[in-house]
Amino acid sequence: MELRQLRYFKGVAELLSFSRAAEQLRVAQSALSRQIQSLEQEVGTRLFTRDRSHVALTDAGKAFYASINKILIQVDIAVTEAQQIARGAVGELLLCTDWRIDAQFVATVVDEFRRKNSRVEIAVRDAAVKDQISMLRSGEAHVGFIAREFIGNESDLEFLSIKRVYINAILPTGHPFAKAKQVRLSDLAKEHWIDLGEKEAGGFRGYFIQQCRLSGFNPRLVRTEHTLDGLFGHVASGYGISAAPDHVRPRPGVPLSLVRTDCPPVDFGAVWRTNDSSPLLQRFVELLRLQIKTVVPDQETETDAATKTT
């Protein structure tokens, strides 16, 4: 039994005319009659009563029509669904990110993509750098948001740059450099440093320590925190200083100064598997490229003024 035969049967059953059904289906009437006869033979009973002037459904034909009509509706739905998936217009998009990427940008892109693709479910999962890479490779995520410097040269991953992110020193307001426009890492060599644990800081911790060493010193780590609030609170209380990407900021009212360092900025962007041919992914990347041009502001100069929060 072929899908074509069911569609032919449906056409005749609804019009109760072989000639009009043949015209609507764009098939020769003789071919239509042969297909209906073949279908009746396969079903094992007559589905129509017919003579030269009249066509009617038998009781078996009426029952058969009710059943195959539901089947054809489901087939049409399945075809439409498959076509939409092939175009990336429906499905589930899995993203992973964490605080080291600009959360506002990610939220803007997700909101715009959801607005334009209402049938796509978007799941955003918080994950550290190593976890993101693992999720991408296993297919648990389509896109991650990571700094290029944190992942190294991974031939199986494709990277799209979003913006340069500068590194700020996080200082108590009474610090000698609190009102400076910029500070060199080497000028902070003798400071006590507070950092986030490797799990919480991800690739940033290793990257920053490497930059300190390139500036001629190993940071003297006196305390490791596991939350940003804890880190900010201890810096504000005078236990030491810290550093973070410039979009990472304390809650309003925490007395800290954020001063740009001469640490090279990191290249934050989106990353996905090179061999991922998902139309949904390609649709998202297209929007991502457009949003980078329209949403991400021009990069600031390295001598921009320090930001002070009180």
| Same domain, residue pair 155 and 182 | no
Token output for 267: 């290249």
| Same domain, residue pair 144 and 281 | yes
Token output for 279: 């139309």
Tell the residue number behind the tokens 């300190």, with chain if given: 212
First to last CA, the chain: 76
Please indicate, yes or no, if residue 129 is contained in any of the structural domains.
Answer: yes
| Same domain, residue pair 121 and 176 | no
| Same domain, residue pair 64 and 111 | no
In this predicted structure, what is the pLDDT of residue 128?
A: 80
Last-in-domain residue among 25, 57, 87: 87
Q: What share of the chain is helix, strand, coil (3-state, %, to 5)?
A: 45, 25, 30
What is the sign, positive or negative, of the torsion defined by CA atoms of 224, 225, 226, 227? Answer: negative
Please indicate, yes or no, if residue 310 is contained in any of the structural domains.
Answer: no
Nearest C-alpha neighbor of 303 from the set 244, 268, 260, 267: 260
- The whole-angstrom separation of Cα 28 and Cα 138 is 52
Please indicate, yes or no, if residue 182 is contained in any of the structural domains.
Answer: yes
Range of the domain at 156: 91-163+268-305
In this predicted structure, what is the pLDDT of residue 306?
A: 39
Q: Assign residue 22 the CATH number of its domain.
A: 1.10.10.10
What's the average pLDDT block by block, 10 residues per block, for the chain (310 residues)? Answer: 88 89 91 90 90 87 90 81 61 80 80 86 85 90 89 84 92 96 96 86 83 96 92 96 90 94 92 89 91 67 40
> DSSP states of 47-99 as a string?
-EEE-SS-EEE-HHHHHHHHHHHHHHHHHHHHHHHHHHHHHTSSEEEEEEE-T
| Same domain, residue pair 280 and 193 | no
| Same domain, residue pair 280 and 139 | yes
| Same domain, residue pair 154 and 174 | no
Q: Assign residue 133 the CATH number of its domain.
A: 3.40.190.10
Please indicate, yes or no, if residue 246 is contained in any of the structural domains.
Answer: yes
In this predicted structure, what is the pLDDT of residue 52?
A: 77
Last-in-domain residue among 87, 115, 135: 87
Strand-pair partners of 111: none
| Same domain, residue pair 293 and 148 | yes
Token output for 284: 């998202």
In this predicted structure, what is the pLDDT of residue 296?
A: 62
In this predicted structure, what is the pLDDT of residue 305?
A: 36
Token output for 135: 């999720």
| Same domain, residue pair 179 and 255 | yes
In this predicted structure, what is the pLDDT of residue 117?
A: 84
Full-model pTM? 0.64
In this predicted structure, what is the pLDDT of residue 131?
A: 87
| Same domain, residue pair 190 and 136 | no
- Please state the domain count of the chain: 3
Last-in-domain residue among 61, 87, 113: 87
